[in-house]
Amino acid sequence: MIHRIFVVLERSLRIINVPGLPQILALAGTVIPGSELSADVARRMNQDLAFDDGAATADFGYAPRGFLSGGEQDLFGPATRVLQAD
């Protein structure tokens, strides 16, 4: 998903491993009022959350379009152009 976002934004892929990120987010969630940050947020980033939609396709004619197939509009809404910083 992250790779696709960078492709849509026409930017070089940059992924940085942050050691201890779950603990950092858990701490941030406790000190930032109203925050929904937690260690689980970081843990979910490392899980494959893809699923088989074959049954929904067969039963309901479910046919989702590709992720970000609408380009930047899918990220930021219509009539939006992100400034290039590269």
- Is residue 27, in this structure, part of any structural domain at all? yes
Structural domain for 49, as ranges: 18-60
CA angle 74, 4, 21 (to 5 degrees): 105
Q: What is the pLDDT of residues 14-27, one digit of tens each?
A: 888 899 999 999 99
- Is residue 8, in this structure, part of any structural domain at all? no
Per the structure, the count of domains in the chain is 1
pTM: 0.54
- Is residue 56, in this structure, part of any structural domain at all? yes
- Is residue 83, in this structure, part of any structural domain at all? no
- Is residue 49, in this structure, part of any structural domain at all? yes
Residue 70 — φ and ψ, nearest 5°?
Answer: -90, 5
Looking at residue 49, its pLDDT comes to 83
- Is residue 84, in this structure, part of any structural domain at all? no
Looking at residue 82, its pLDDT comes to 56
